[in-house]
Amino acid sequence: MKPAGALSKMALRRVGAHIRPGVTTAELDRIAEQIIRLHGGVPAFKGYGGFPASICSSVNAQIVHGIPSTETVLEEGDIVSIDTGAVVDGWVGDNAWTFYCGEPDPIDRELCEVTRDCLKRAIAMAIPGNHLGDIGAAVQEYAERHGFGIVREYVGHGVGHVMHEEPNVPNYGRRGRGVRLQAGMVIAIEPMITRGNPKNETMPNRWTVVTRDRSTAAHYENTIAITDDGPVILTQDAEGPWCPMEGGALA
């Protein structure tokens, strides 16, 4: 699954390098699709359940599943969550990152850093013998300690030949509870954290999930293999599993 993960990360990194005020999310979508196909992959999201694009691009109060559009022009101070997935040789990779477009509001910056660190803490729990509740609790405890909200309606998931497999991987839980983790399992861990109330609604386009109070949201994701040697992040390219927070950083 490493080639699928690497290409997913490469697409995510490339999109991040093009994030700047004035760019449209449709342009970011085009960039991701181009790089995925150039390297022999297929965009995992395009056509998935009827989703019309190769990336999800969720700006500010949008939590996940934002649809790229020529009419969505990024502005200075936006935070934009990009989710990319690639299929290579029948295997899926899935990852996401919330980038800054220019200089974000300081609390939005904190929200993003905390959500990223929720992901790091959760990954550390992905070892044989632990339980899904250990992963969820790691996210929940750290997010709540910082006063942020935890989205419950959308969760991480198993990954394999299909993007969404069992088990569900919630971002909340109790330590020692839930499915016992075993070597060989592959899961996408993806905290979705809100600055305000995590209650959310789906827009009339039937995809885009947005906070009801229109507070900002952040979303970070990696695909992880659970092994006897510890967690292996499959969604990493030559530069590793993490992206710079700042959009445009590699441009």
Catalog residues that contact Mg ion under the rule CB under 5 A. 94, 188
Structure tokens at 187: 């899961």
Q: Tokens 């971002």 — which residue?
A: 171
Per DSSP, the chain holds a count of helices (H) and strands (E) of: 4, 15
Taking the least distance from each CB to Mg ion, the nearer of 23 and 224 is 224
Taking the least distance from each CB to Mg ion, the nearer of 169 and 210 is 169
Nearest approach, Cβ of residue 226 and Mg ion (Å): 16
Nearest approach, Cβ of residue 157 and Mg ion (Å): 6
Taking the least distance from each CB to Mg ion, the nearer of 29 and 94 is 94
Nearest approach, Cβ of residue 78 and Mg ion (Å): 22
Nearest approach, Cβ of residue 159 and Mg ion (Å): 7
Q: Where are the alpha helices (DSSP H) in the chain?
A: 2-17, 25-38, 106-124, 132-145
Nearest approach, Cβ of residue 55 and Mg ion (Å): 12
Of 144, 85, 90, nearest in space to 118 by CA: 144
Q: How far apart are CA 50 and CA 169, in angstroms?
A: 23
Taking the least distance from each CB to Mg ion, the nearer of 23 and 172 is 172
Taking the least distance from each CB to Mg ion, the nearer of 23 and 123 is 123
Nearest approach, Cβ of residue 3 and Mg ion (Å): 18
> Is omega for the bond preceding 128 within 30 degrees of 0, making it cis?
no
Phi, psi of 79 (to 5 degrees): -110, 135
Answer for the pair 81, 96: CB distance below 8 angstroms, yes or no: yes
Taking the least distance from each CB to Mg ion, the nearer of 134 and 190 is 190
Q: How far apart are CA 54 and CA 83, in angstroms?
A: 9
